[in-house]
Structure 1
């Protein structure tokens, strides 16, 4: 169950994590600091009740927060 809806920036950070980007790379892509990216991703894990980023990605797919790209 989702505790609270993800913000647009949290969704965006999670999207890039799901594509295999590192915190540093996400920061460059989004124009955010390393610490800000980690802040958003910690919030994602809390809101999805996930112990880590991998679990957050799995739960995001399960709850249709993230979707597989269509061809």
Structure 2
């Protein structure tokens, strides 16, 4: 029996963070844009990386775009 793997579900904040990172923003810049601290941005990005099973922000952004989670 084959198990169908579903696409990961990211929270709104996780999607916002990875969207800004995909546009080249730093955690500091993303935090300023979103009105949260850089540490909170990094917390969300850590969750994104875990959910997408990747080890870098760049890979997370690429995978999020390829899965249609965020816009290119």
* TM-score of Structure 1 vs Structure 2, range by shorter chain: 0.7 to 0.9
Q: Could you list the runs of 4 or more consecutive aligned residues of structure 1 that deviate by over 2 angstroms after TM superposition?
A: 1-4
TM-score normalized by the length of structure 2: 0.86
Q: 1:35 aligns with which of 36, 39, 42?
A: 39
CA distance in 1, matches of 2:31, 2:20: 10
Ranges in structure 2 where 5+ consecutive residues have no aligned partner: none
When Rg is computed on C-alpha atoms for both structures, the one with the higher figure is 2
Q: Is the 8 A contact 1:2 1:47 kept in 2?
A: no
CA-atom RMSD in angstroms: 1.5
Alignment size in residue pairs: 68
